[in-house]
Structure 1
Amino acid sequence: MTQLIDSRTPLLVDDPDWWRQAVVYQIYPRSFADATGDGIGDLRGIISRIDYLAALGIDAVWLSPFYPSALADGGYDVDDYRDVDPRIGTLEEFDAMAAALHEAGIRLIVDIVPNHSSNRHRWFREALASPPGSPARERYIFRDGRGEHGEIPPSDWTSVFGGPAWTRVEDGQWYLHTFAIEQPDWNWSHPEVREDFLTTLRFWADRGVDGFRVDDANLLAKDLSADPLPTAEELAAMPLDGTHPTTDRDEVQDIYAAWRAVFDEYTPPRTAVAEAWIESPERRARYASPASLGQAFNFDLLQADFDAAQFRRIVTDNLEQVTLSGSSNTWVLSNHDVVRHVTRYGLAPLKGRHAKQGIDWMLAGAPEDEIDRGLGERRARAATLFELALPGSAYLYQGEELGLHEVTDIPDEQRQDPAFWRSTPEERTQDGLGRDGTRVPLPWSRTGSSFGFGDGGSHLPQPAWFGELSVEAEEADPGSSLQMYRCALALRHELQGGEELVWDETLSTADVLAFERPGGWLSVTNFGAEPVDLPAGELLLASGPLDGDAAVGSRRLPGATTAWLRRSAL
């Protein structure tokens, strides 16, 4: 049994189920806070803002990749899984950050990227220096090409970021990269790959990491033994039943069973959450089972319109799904891959905008002239209170507590997302301008060259309107989005009991969703445009002003508003 040696509070050590209803705050480290003044966020910057995180009321931080990387894909091209990018910090600073978070009562989850490494990883460099058929090449997925001289790729597959999914090396072989050219896929049939990742998990768990967010968890196991390989059209038509050549194969659970054994070496066991874009509840439940990773993101609310019927169906379906796994739900409205939900809710309905597995929609842009910013802000606040009232864990993305909109006016030459650079102008018009707009560094102060992000500017340009949505501005405004989040998270800690939810059918209508949680507190959301009557009871929090006169018992809930109440005694 591995024992922790870092300075953690007894509360953090003793609760093995802390994750079931935790609020987890995602930090994209390059864009959170810059303490060194080079325009890139860093670990010292995070340390300097731990008081802010504690005041927000979160239970854990999820740290997006901080590993050495050429940043071909925002850090998801990893050079070394057991080190820190020197632009972001050092291992000693990582240890200091973990200890400071734990001292503040905040746990730490780190991103792990197991589908692919970077093309600068020592094993990929060894593979390129070794001949075809060598043991070094077997750690990745190399294949001979087709055609008289092997000049045609092994298949016509397309990468997620556009262009071919195969790249040819100097000796004529081709390697598979599901994502960017700089991200060669691992061969998870290779025992050295499996063992090396177990070493990585222990490396970070021994440093005090409480859990792992597993990137593209469904893609690791692959079977490319068919000759010839299926075409892209044939691949797309194959059933996702555990036998698909490239995604959600049954044997991926063998990999995670070995990971679970490592997690359970620790006291308390380390946690994990799978990023797995899988539509089947039964298939997704496999990742969330106690024998596997333990949790799996559901992105259903993230892909929904602001619509009562959609929200109810999603919540009902996901509550049923967790009974299959014994896990708890994971609710998400925004993250580093999608248009911020404040902006999405100010756009026309999303129906038809997102394609299979959400990939095309994740990259969709948000034209400024199509956004109703006020409506988006009201809906986002209402949706957030709805989300935070649900049983299960909630994942928040940095800046959503400020009500930040997507930044749309980034000059092309300053964009960093490979999805932008590997797409044509026509594709950008159709699918948007990539993910840079949600990764712009946070505004901490009203003024300054980077609104308090750091002394050396910011690696992506910030718009002038950031100052009014800065932490400094919102801390001075009792009606701000930040203050609502702080109140909501404090109340959630006070109110949250069991993981049950009961729909209130007397209040719920085509435009209104009301549900009760253990302890007799109620969440009511008006998805429509017209105000509705609220029931009697103590008003705990609302996402916006109510209509009527509370003094005489006349309270009405406006459209795009959520209220939390404690019922009067029955």
Structure 2
Amino acid sequence: MTQELTTTTAVAGRTRGRDPGSTGWWRDAVIYQVYVRSFADGDGDGIGDLPGIRARLPHLADLGADAVWLTPFYASPQADGGYDVADYRAVDPLFGSLQDADDLVREAHRLGLRVIVDIVPNHTSDQHSWFRAALAGGPERDRYHFHPGKRAAVPAQGGAAPPNDWESVFGGPAWTRTEDGDWYLHLFAPEQPDLNWEHPEVRAEFESVLRFWLDLGVDGFRIDVAHGMVKAAGLPDIGAREQAKLIGAQELPFFDQDGVHEIHRSWRRLLDSYDGERIAVAEAWAPSPERLALYVRPDELHQAFNFQFLNCPWDAAEMRAVVDASLAATRSVGAPTTWVLSNHDVVRHPTRYGGGERGLRRARAAALLMLALPGSAYVYQGEELGLPEVTDLPDEVRQDPSFFRAEGQDGFRDGCRVPMPWTAEGPSYGFGSGGSWLPQPSSWRGLSVEAQTGDPRSTLELYRSALALRRELPGLGDGEMEWLEAPEDVLAFARPGFVCTVNTGAGAAQLTVPGRPLLSTSALEFTGGNVTIPAESAVWWAI
């Protein structure tokens, strides 16, 4: 007997957000990432903004998200999509006003959604008032990393070389020489000079910035480059090229230094002084799950992105190993694990998993896997629509700064930042009344929110049902899990009253029926007490 489970199974029981007063909400929250310039355009200029996001918040509430994370919307020259901040207390006119930010926070809270904003403490914009004063020779110079160069062996370098061999994550040297002959450090673009966190005025300024946004009502912060604020003493050479490929794989003198933890402990004390369980999540690349767990010790941050899980290939054994290592590391410090499949810096996972129909099948199964694991989960905008990476953007429309440099990131981050399709017709598929800052594929009309709503086979309804069940079933969210015996290519694990099975293989797998099917990414075939699970699919069961 073949049974096709519709993804509307749990829709009737959907709720709109957790009780804002609930304890430890972040331990099992589903947090939806909004890339501000690509979510919704409220004024028709082709660029997403805060009023546009506010108008689309009901989508997130209906989806079943607990919170929304907004990428930077601060005053910025936009050299790196807003991650080059010129004023941390001002909203860039491109995205709206401070009043728009306040209105968005209030509307989100009305809908039962918490709001997390980005904070960028590793570097400022080169247009920040501090850095302009530093270039002019003011005392602000000590707030950055200015150093004399070393004598060069190559005469063409003008007699001086950078202070060390560090490379920018975006490619090329991590140093730029100023008119007075000194060099300043920028681990990212030259327009993003690194701050010197040994300077007390830097620490005091960021505590003030955090309080500014907490007083406005935000519920927490995603800390950009949380692993990067402290550099090794003496700024030692690395002795290797293509250093961006080493991030998260080995120790580096500019990332994951022990000194960052004292900063995060001071921020935790600040957050704890506010009502309402305000949180911080670390974007931290560490060479091991154990090093990553240090960021979420009881007196430090609340969450840290699990990039090992994001980078894991589509393979049952490797996925199981990453899950085990991640849970063991966070359990050792009493923290939840935070799972993520995509974000604004990586190729969307349907494309990473092979693209086309196969990639989408795997992505849908991976979603049920992620949402069934213990801890919290992050959903990147458009993930709930099954959006693939846009791989054929013309060079002339690209804006990723690493695209214009060499030997760093791949330079193609624009492909995961193409604006959301909301409707099947109209300008920019409902993104706004005008065009969109990056062109959308014509095939996206069929992937729009409008086209997928009400279709029981759609990825959108799969996510809606999964998030509704996640709320309703006491065995999901934070807690424990136990692996079950399964065929070689199958992941099977139990949680209280619940089983998740994921077939990662290229062929169907047969199992003993573990319980009552709740949700499946593909049609199931039952024969007696057995069930055949199609290739690259996942099933949730009630037991």
What is the correspondence of 1:379-418 to structure 2 with a 5 Å cutoff?
379-418=362-401
Q: 1:476 and 1:235, CA in 2 relative to 1: closer, same or farther beyond 3 A?
A: closer
* 1:50–1:101 CA contact under 8 A, matched in 2: yes
Aligned to 1:446: 424
User: Displacement of 1:452 after TM fit?
Assistant: 0.6
User: C-alpha deviations, 1:50-94, integer Å up to 9, x for none?
Assistant: 111110000010111111111111111111111111110111111
Aligned to 1:270: 278
Distance 1:530 1:380 in 2: 17
Aligned to 2:464: 486
Out of 474, 479, 493, the position equivalent to 1:499 is 479
Matching residue's letter, 2:143: R
Matching residue's letter, 1:156: D
Out of 89, 98, 101, the position equivalent to 1:94 is 101
Aligned to 1:563: 539
State yes or no: 1:76 paired with 2:92: no
Runs of at least 5 residues in structure 2 that lack an aligned partner in the other structure: 1-15, 153-157
State yes or no: 1:141 paired with 2:141: no
List 4+ stretches of structure 1 deviating above 4 A: 9-13, 234-244
Distance 1:93 1:128 in 2: 34
State yes or no: 1:512 paired with 2:516: no
Secondary structure at the aligned position of 2:87 is classed as coil
Aligned to 1:309: 317
Matching residue's letter, 1:126: A
What is the correspondence of 1:226-305 to structure 2 with a 5 Å cutoff?
229-233=236-240, 245-305=253-313
Secondary structure at the aligned position of 1:219 is classed as coil
* 1:12–1:102 CA contact under 8 A, matched in 2: no
Instruction: Give TM-score, length-normalised by structure 1.
Output: 0.87
Distance 1:276 1:121 in 2: 24
Deviates more, 1:184-193 or 1:233-242: 233-242
Distance 1:435 1:10 in 2: 31
Out of 164, 182, 187, the position equivalent to 1:155 is 164
User: Displacement of 1:13 after TM fit?
Assistant: 4.6
User: Displacement of 1:14 after TM fit?
Assistant: 2.3
Aligned to 1:106: 113
Aligned to 1:361: none
User: Displacement of 1:295 after TM fit?
Assistant: 1.7
* 2:69–2:222 CA contact under 8 A, matched in 1: yes
Secondary structure at the aligned position of 1:263 is classed as helix
Matching residue's letter, 2:483: W
Distance 2:511 2:248 in 1: 46
Matching residue's letter, 1:565: W
* 1:289–1:295 CA contact under 8 A, matched in 2: no
Distance 1:542 1:219 in 2: 41
Distance 1:114 1:183 in 2: 11
CA-atom RMSD, angstroms? 2.4
Q: 1:466 and 1:257, CA in 2 relative to 1: closer, same or farther beyond 3 A?
A: same
Distance 1:449 1:422 in 2: 33
* 1:407–1:438 CA contact under 8 A, matched in 2: yes
Secondary structure at the aligned position of 1:70 is classed as coil
Deviates more, 1:251-260 or 1:240-249: 240-249
* 2:493–2:501 CA contact under 8 A, matched in 1: yes
State yes or no: 1:55 paired with 2:55: no
Distance 1:496 1:159 in 2: 46
Relative contact order: is structure 1 or structure 2 higher (C-alpha 8 Å, sep ≥ 6)? Answer: 2
Matching residue's letter, 1:502: E
Deviates more, 1:57-66 or 1:470-479: 470-479
Q: 1:318 and 1:196, CA in 2 relative to 1: closer, same or farther beyond 3 A?
A: same
What is the correspondence of 1:303-452 to structure 2 with a 5 Å cutoff?
303-346=311-354, 371=355, 373-423=356-406, 432-452=410-430
Aligned to 1:532: 510
Distance 2:57 2:167 in 1: 42
User: Displacement of 1:248 after TM fit?
Assistant: 1.6
Secondary structure at the aligned position of 1:14 is classed as coil
User: Displacement of 1:231 after TM fit?
Assistant: 4.9
User: C-alpha deviations, 1:482-519, integer Å up to 9, x for none?
Assistant: 000000000000114451101122xx22111111112x
Secondary structure at the aligned position of 2:429 is classed as coil
User: Displacement of 1:241 after TM fit?
Assistant: 13
Distance 1:489 1:310 in 2: 26
Distance 1:512 1:279 in 2: 28
User: Displacement of 1:244 after TM fit?
Assistant: 5.5
Q: 1:29 and 1:207, CA in 2 relative to 1: closer, same or farther beyond 3 A?
A: same
Out of 25, 31, 43, the position equivalent to 1:18 is 25
Distance 2:517 2:382 in 1: 27
* 1:144–1:150 CA contact under 8 A, matched in 2: no
Secondary structure at the aligned position of 2:327 is classed as helix
Matching residue's letter, 1:112: I
State yes or no: 1:472 paired with 2:476: no
Q: 1:450 and 1:255, CA in 2 relative to 1: closer, same or farther beyond 3 A?
A: same
Distance 1:244 1:457 in 2: 43
Aligned to 1:352: none
Distance 1:537 1:514 in 2: 13
Distance 2:390 2:366 in 1: 21
Aligned to 1:123: 130
Out of 190, 197, 217, the position equivalent to 1:208 is 217
Secondary structure at the aligned position of 1:525 is classed as strand
Q: 1:532 and 1:391, CA in 2 relative to 1: closer, same or farther beyond 3 A?
A: same
User: Displacement of 1:158 after TM fit?
Assistant: 1.4
Q: 1:231 and 1:150, CA in 2 relative to 1: closer, same or farther beyond 3 A?
A: farther
Distance 2:247 2:321 in 1: 25
Secondary structure at the aligned position of 1:71 is classed as coil
Secondary structure at the aligned position of 1:450 is classed as helix
Report percent identity of matched pairs. 53
User: Displacement of 1:413 after TM fit?
Assistant: 0.6
Aligned to 2:434: 456
* 1:110–1:213 CA contact under 8 A, matched in 2: yes
Matching residue's letter, 2:30: V
User: Displacement of 1:322 after TM fit?
Assistant: 1.2
Out of 16, 41, 46, the position equivalent to 1:39 is 46
State yes or no: 1:521 paired with 2:518: no
Matching residue's letter, 1:420: F
User: C-alpha deviations, 1:115-139, integer Å up to 9, x for none?
Assistant: 1111011101111112xxx521000
